[in-house]
Amino acid sequence: MLRTREFFKMNNKHMTLGEFIISNQKSFKYSSGELSRLINSIRLAAKVVNHEIRKAGLVDITGAAGDINVQGEAQQKLDVLANNLFKQTLINREIVCGIASEEEDDYVVVEGNNKANENKYVLLMDPLDGSSNIDVNVSVGTIFSIYRRVSPVGTPVTQEDFLQKGNEQVAAGYVAYGTSTMLVFTTGNGVNGFTLNPAIGTFYLSHPNMKFPEIGKIYSVSEGYFTHFQEGMKRFLIHCKELNKEDNRPYTARYIGSLVSDFHRNLIKGGVYIYPATAINPKGKLRLLYECNPMAFICEQAGGTASDGFTRILDIKPTELHQRVPFYSGSKQLVAKAESFMNEFSSDEKPVYE
Ligand code: AHM
Ligand code: MG
């Protein structure tokens, strides 16, 4: 618990997330107030999910719920809970017209209480990413992505509202439930990070204008799959381990296996996160709509690069809700280096999207 003096110092000095939203509303792409209310709803749901996660070790809510999600993976109880909490918060507050989630087979049409839904935004989310880490007390995260609908307002949302290119995103963010809880987001005007003060349940602007260090030294890849990687990826990993004083090699390997945490650390310290194509998962593991697009938007807004090894993530036209793509993201120079190995040695395996 913070001592009283420190508590007041922190709470007087830093802007709260609520204050930030109000003072920045005019710079949001469309400033009708609807997006601000939506981000406020996410803030609320994040606090509730945070509360549940923080007591996960105390009550018997960890472990597989028994359901198998659309990806064929066992759902953890907290996945289900986080999904329901975010969904219910957004539905109750009548703030979106549709929701798509990694934990739902299909998109959810949100109808207004007494009238046709007049809301303009759809939300896509991975409500609890890295959930296999919950049982072992390792950080997890929530990832979200917001678009303007393309179908007419007042009609039920359609799949096309969700299958938009990432460069159409209006806002994106993540919540990192780590040693502290942080909400990091962008509305296309840079990236800002807010840390939750659990004593009073308020997010404070702790990391204004976050930027990837251009030159990173960390690479985050699950090297256990080395044998299944494409030649370009193998060469990049060998490069990371070689001795070279000029560019400070060998680099440092760090892999938590929790995308939000790995990405967040690299954003602060400088590095590259890669979930590449493998012989077993030729399209990689991560989902374009719920994980890669929002992280890519944040990444670029923070001065980094995000690609599938060849193509910019935000330029990919999605073809299905649960589509997977290889994911390379982080400090510009490191991603460029990985891409150069992919282009040189694996260009015949470049993913094609139609
Ligand atoms: P999930 O959405 O089922 O939690 O899977 C995504 C997670 C990422 O957070 C993480 O980077 C990756 O899966 C780890 O996968 P692996 O165990 O194959 O390295
Ligand atoms: Mg996930």
Cα 293 from Cα 175, distance rounded (Å): 15
Report the separation in Å between the CA atom of 258 and the middle of ligand 1, taken as the mean of its atom positions: 6
Per-residue model confidence (pLDDT) at position 336: 97
- 19-30 burial, b for 16+ CB within 10 Å, e for fewer? ebbeebeeebee
Mean pLDDT of the chain, nearest integer: 91
End-to-end C-alpha distance for the chain, whole angstroms: 54
Per-residue model confidence as pLDDT tens digits over 188-223 = 999 999 999 999 999 999 999 999 998 899 999 999
- Among the ranges given (10-19, 98-107, 237-246, 335-344), the one the predictor scored with the smallest mean pLDDT: 10-19
Per-residue model confidence (pLDDT) at position 295: 98
User: Residues with beta carbon < 5 A to ion ligand 2?
Assistant: 126, 129
CB 251 within 8 A of CB 219: yes
Ligand 1 neighbourhood includes 126 CB (under 6 angstroms): yes
Per-residue model confidence (pLDDT) at position 24: 84
Ligand 1 neighbourhood includes 103 CB (under 6 angstroms): no
Ligand 1 neighbourhood includes 98 CB (under 6 angstroms): no
Per-residue model confidence as pLDDT tens digits over 260-307 = 999 999 999 999 999 999 999 999 999 999 999 999 999 999 999 999
- Among the ranges given (68-77, 153-162, 164-173), the one the predictor scored with the smallest mean pLDDT: 68-77
Share of the chain above pLDDT 90, in %: 76
Nearest to 311 by CA among 285, 335, 294: 335
For the record, the structure tokens of 154 come out as 């007042």
Burial of 102 (0-12, 13-18, 19+ CB in 10 A): buried
Per-residue model confidence (pLDDT) at position 1: 47
Whether pLDDT at 251 is above 70: yes
| Contacts for 210 with CB less than 8 Å, ≥ 6 apart | 184, 190, 191, 192, 193, 267, 268, 302
CATH architecture for the domain at 4-207:
2-Layer Sandwich (3.30)
Ligand 1 neighbourhood includes 285 CB (under 6 angstroms): yes
Report the separation in Å between the CA atom of 85 and the middle of ligand 2, taken as the mean of its atom positions: 17
Per-residue model confidence (pLDDT) at position 354: 78
Report the separation in Å between the CA atom of 57 and the middle of ligand 1, taken as the mean of its atom positions: 21
Q: Quote the radius of gyration of the chain (alpha carbons, Å).
A: 20
Confidence of residue 68 (pLDDT cuts 50, 70, 90): low
More confident position, 349 or 112 = 349
| Contacts for 225 with CB less than 8 Å, ≥ 6 apart | 278, 280
Per-residue model confidence (pLDDT) at position 23: 87
Ligand 1 neighbourhood includes 257 CB (under 6 angstroms): yes
- Predicted TM-score (pTM) of the model is 0.92
Per-residue model confidence (pLDDT) at position 177: 96
Domain 218-347 -> CATH class: alpha beta
Query: How many alpha carbons fall within 13 Å on the CB side of residue 114?
Result: 0
Per-residue model confidence (pLDDT) at position 134: 83
Ligand nearest to the CA of 290: 2
Ligand 1 neighbourhood includes 131 CB (under 6 angstroms): yes
Per-residue model confidence as pLDDT tens digits over 32-62 = 788 999 999 999 999 999 998 888 766 655 5
Please report, for the chain, the start and end positions of each structural domain, with discontinuous segments joined by +.
Answer: 4-207, 218-347
Per-residue model confidence as pLDDT tens digits over 302-325 = 999 999 999 999 999 999 999 999
